[in-house]
Amino acid sequence: MTKFEKFETITAKRFSTTEVIDRPKLSVFGLGYVGAVTSVCFANMGYNVIGVDLDVLKIAQMNSGISPITETLLTEKLAEALKRKNFKATTNAKTAVINSDISLVSVCTPGHSDGSCDISHLKAVAETIGIALKQKNTYHLIIFRSTIPPGTTQDILIPIIEKASGKKNTLDFGVCFNPEFLRESTAIKDFFNPPKTVIGSQDKKAAKIACKLYEDMQGHVFVCDTEVAEFIKYTDNTWHALKVSFANEIGRLCKVAKIDSHEVMNIFCSDDKLNISRKYLTPGTAFGGSCLPKDVRAIQNLAGYYNLNLPVLNSIINSNQAHINYITNLICKNHCQKIGFLGVTFKSGTDDLRESPIIAVIEQLLDRGKTIVVHDGNLPHKSALNGQSNSIIADLLTPNNHTALEVCEASEVIVVTHHLKQYQDLIENFSQKKIIVDLVRLNAKIRDTALYQGICW
Ligand SMILES: NC(=O)c1ccc[n+]([C@@H]2O[C@H](COP(=O)([O-])OP(=O)(O)OC[C@H]3O[C@@H](n4cnc5c(N)ncnc54)[C@H](O)[C@@H]3O)[C@@H](O)[C@H]2O)c1
């Protein structure tokens, strides 16, 4: 049995026609790479689907069983849907809305020349749906699936629907944002086996109905705010682009150094503890320590030796320095003189001060004339600081100079750099009256206080 045959059997079993009762009727706006696959796949699951597009040729093609795009299995799946009579395509948006319970919107959102997202097609569909809703007496759910900048659903699309329909969001209709993760060429397989499903909505009822659509799919379903759901898609795609560029830069370097890049990356990817994992993917403080900065500089040096232009690898140290500057500026924005640090080593649980980003921040603050006081339970013995050229810093780093409590009492701004329960408990007592700059994401109770400032949240 081939991989595809096996997959066909699984989906056929899971979505047999006999199970199909009381399913909401769907309309899918935009029958492009996403919409054509979405509408045909939902029809194959037994939903009645009306596909809507402005393109009359696409409509004619789909109604006569011709796939408008090249996509594995789409012709077969379209034939099956037409045979079951639960898919038809139309240009008539109004009847599609009136005759469906849920509209999924996957029209194009191309980029303008300045890189910004063109949401004009989406706005047009929102207005069309709104106008159609005027003539509908039953609740309707609109699920936007096109890739859009955060805030678009809540700030632009919902107001357009409310204005055009004269109806109220969350009451007469509901809205969700549900990003699409399928990849062209494996889109049908991806539709039934998504890596995850993300339902963004500020409206519990809408989210619940949307979740039900995906209950038979594989992968975890995440329900979150619309802005989070919108931004996930950009984050995912930027990450994929970064991975490709990273792998290619490693590949170019491997080639000139006569190393097999595929063998390197195969071993690299097999490490799902540190490499392909959650590790090092949490926004917070800058990187530092004895290895990361040194080794990134070494690989940059190697690229220079071979005269190679590797912009991604070459920008890593600059990006980290920009983050260190950002931390300093965040602290200074408070216009306070006395700054206390809870944690100075490059991360908690070590006494290693080499290339600690916190020391870099402290140096910048001293240059700006600030008074610094620090606590770190792991500071090394003074002899280990002999290499520290800045004597003020060396004095600051004297072990047991101050307790954590003394640091909090002596400071106007408390900067928390290590995620320790000891600091968390202490900060809870001070969070009402001191400015807290948090580089590690302390608990929600502290984050809600007025004087609290998070680094990336
Ligand atoms: N292509 C992908 O692999 C992929 C994957 C995930 C997400 N996305 C996102 O999904 C969205 C759709 O992408 P696509 O590649 O399917 O686009 P596409 O250009 O292939 O298709 C868009 C369709 O929308 C139709 N359309 C435009 N305005 C319309 C309107 N007012 N009413 C009805 N139909 C209208 C167009 O005629 C076209 O057929 C984009 O936001 C894209 O970023 C794409």
CATH label of the domain that carries residue 113 = 3.40.50.720
What is the side-by-side strand order in the sheet with 371-375?
A: 371-375, 338-342, 413-416, 435-438, 452-454
Residues belonging to the active site: 291
For the chain, give the mean pLDDT: 93
Number of domains in the chain: 2
Q: Is residue 447 part of a domain?
A: yes
Asked which of 226, 248, 280 is the last residue of a domain, the reply is: 226
Distances (CA, A) of 416 to 290, 401, 408, 448: 21, 17, 10, 16
Same domain flag for 192 and 329: no
Closest C-alpha to ligand 1, atom 28: 121
Same domain flag for 193 and 331: no
Same domain flag for 86 and 202: yes
Same domain flag for 201 and 64: yes
| pLDDT per residue as tens digits for the range 404-447 | 999 999 999 999 999 999 999 999 988 778 999 999 999 999 99
Asked which of 191, 226, 261 is the last residue of a domain, the reply is: 226
Ligand 1 atom closest to residue 31's alpha carbon, by position in its atom list: 39
Q: Is residue 66 part of a domain?
A: yes
Same domain flag for 203 and 342: no
Q: How far apart, in whole angstroms, are the C-alpha atoms of residue 24 and residue 215? A: 14
Does pLDDT of 16 surpass 50?
no
What does the pLDDT read at residue 432?
Answer: 78
Which band of pLDDT confidence, cut at 50, 70 and 90, is reported for residue 384?
low
Best CA proximity match to 393, nearest among 427, 357, 424, 359: 359
Residues lining ligand 1, Cβ inside 6 A:
29-35, 52-55, 58, 106-109, 121, 124-125, 146-147, 180, 182-184
Closest C-alpha to ligand 1, atom 27: 107
Asked which of 195, 226, 257 is the last residue of a domain, the reply is: 226
34 CA to middle of ligand 1, Å?
A: 6
Does pLDDT of 12 surpass 80?
no
Same domain flag for 446 and 342: yes
Same domain flag for 367 and 220: no
Same domain flag for 327 and 219: no
Q: How far apart, in whole angstroms, are the C-alpha atoms of residue 29 and residue 45? A: 18
Structural domain of 431: 319-454
Q: Is residue 385 part of a domain?
A: yes
As a whole number, mean pLDDT of residues 363-386 equals 87
Q: Is residue 347 part of a domain?
A: yes
138: left (phi over 0), alpha (psi -120 to 50) or beta: beta
Does pLDDT of 387 surpass 70?
no
Which residues, other chains included, contact 92 with Cβ-Cβ below 8 Å and sequence gap of 6+? 52
| pLDDT per residue as tens digits for the range 69-103 | 999 999 999 999 999 999 999 999 999 999 999 99
What does the pLDDT read at residue 216?
Answer: 87
Pocket test for ligand 1, best of 94, 145, 180, 233 (most atoms within 8 A of CB): 180
455 CA to middle of ligand 1, Å?
A: 36
| pLDDT per residue as tens digits for the range 290-321 | 999 999 999 999 999 999 999 999 999 999 99
Q: Is residue 45 part of a domain?
A: yes
The pTM of the full predicted model, rounded to 2 decimals, is 0.91
Q: How far apart, in whole angstroms, are the C-alpha atoms of residue 414 and residue 342? A: 7
Q: Is residue 9 part of a domain?
A: yes
Q: Is residue 48 part of a domain?
A: yes
Q: Compute φ and ψ for 51, nearest 5 degrees.
A: -90, 135
366 CA to middle of ligand 1, Å?
A: 53
121 CA to middle of ligand 1, Å?
A: 9
Same domain flag for 100 and 219: yes
Closest C-alpha to ligand 1, atom 15: 33
33 CA to middle of ligand 1, Å?
A: 7
Same domain flag for 206 and 332: no
| pLDDT per residue as tens digits for the range 112-129 | 999 999 999 999 999 999
Same domain flag for 205 and 329: no
Instruction: Find the range with the poorest average confidence among 18-22, 56-60, 118-122.
Output: 18-22
What does the pLDDT read at residue 8?
Answer: 45
Same domain flag for 326 and 218: no
Closest C-alpha to ligand 1, atom 12: 108
Ligand 1 atom closest to residue 148's alpha carbon, by position in its atom list: 41
Q: Is residue 311 part of a domain?
A: no
